[in-house]
Structure 1
């Protein structure tokens, strides 16, 4: 019986979240991007799996909306790669949210990812993850004051 209650609750949250994500199409159409019902279900499944992997809890689709609406104007996203890119960005967000030990707020992390993605990474998710975000994680874990610094020896130079 308990499983049925959880399932009903999950269905309600999923339906509400689905509708929240679907509303993003109103804005993303300006950039030639649209998520189908199947695309939204893929994104929500990725979100669910990412939350389970990272041990995070989230109600509603606000973060997914923020990610979609922040990235929709990227010159590196087209309808051709839209679902795969957003899917990967969502997974990346939750992973690095954990890795940064919540030192960076949700909106700040999304904006930071977008800035690197569009500029330094020129649309490369691998470069975003394995160079820029990994470096930020390293800096946070090792107490570098300016964790956004890409110079790993910056604090040592400041001490001289």
Structure 2
């Protein structure tokens, strides 16, 4: 039994299934004049795997990526040119926040907070979400505040 070949085969099959699953989101994205091509999806999957490795995390499904793609796709701040980069950045930020909060927060709560800061506070600026937004979410968590609270500490 050649385990490396077996694992390689399973990995290729899983990647193919992932591409198919993400490709199905194009039906929703097309409502916003957006589309993910196969190369875009491969880029997203590679960035996902890289993020998971660098953050020391594992993920058993595509729920987080799919949620991000759906939410980002509806944003007035996203266009075809920045869609993949925005999805990849948001995914990396999500896992950074999860690590900083020791996984005490539900995924959906972190995602909703990130989307709130992205769309309502920083008007689509990923740089501000990466900096001030993540800092605010983490500080709100540490001080027992609602994650989307914007008031300054006293």
Per-residue CA shift, 1:13-60, capped at 9, x if unaligned?
Answer: 211111111111010000011000000000000000011111111123
Q: CA shift at 1:5, angstroms? A: 2.0
1:127 equivalent in structure 2: 128
Q: Distance in 2 between matches of 1:62 and 1:76?
A: 22
2:143 equivalent in structure 1: 144
Structure 1 residues 1-160: aligned runs within 5 Å: 1-140=2-141, 143-146=142-145, 148=147, 149-151=149-151, 153-154=153-154
8 A contact 1:46–1:87 mirrored in 2: yes
Q: Over aligned residue pairs, what C-alpha RMSD do you find? A: 1.6
Q: Distance in 1 between matches of 2:139 and 2:121?
A: 19
Q: Which moved more, 1:40-49 or 1:85-94?
A: 85-94
Per-residue CA shift, 1:67-92, capped at 9, x if unaligned?
Answer: 10111110100112111111211222
Q: CA shift at 1:152, angstroms? A: 5.0
Could you tell me which runs of 5 or more consecutive residues in structure 1 were left unpaired when the two chains were aligned. 155-160
Q: CA shift at 1:151, angstroms? A: 3.9
8 A contact 1:139–1:147 mirrored in 2: yes
TM-score scaled to structure 1, two decimals? 0.87
Q: Where has structure 1 moved over 2 Å in runs of 4 or more? A: 147-154
TM-score scaled to structure 2, two decimals? 0.90
8 A contact 1:100–1:137 mirrored in 2: yes
Could you tell me which runs of 5 or more consecutive residues in structure 2 were left unpaired when the two chains were aligned. none
Q: Report how many residues are paired.
A: 152
Q: Distance in 1 between matches of 2:64 and 2:13?
A: 18
Asked which structure has the greater CA Rg, the reply is: 1
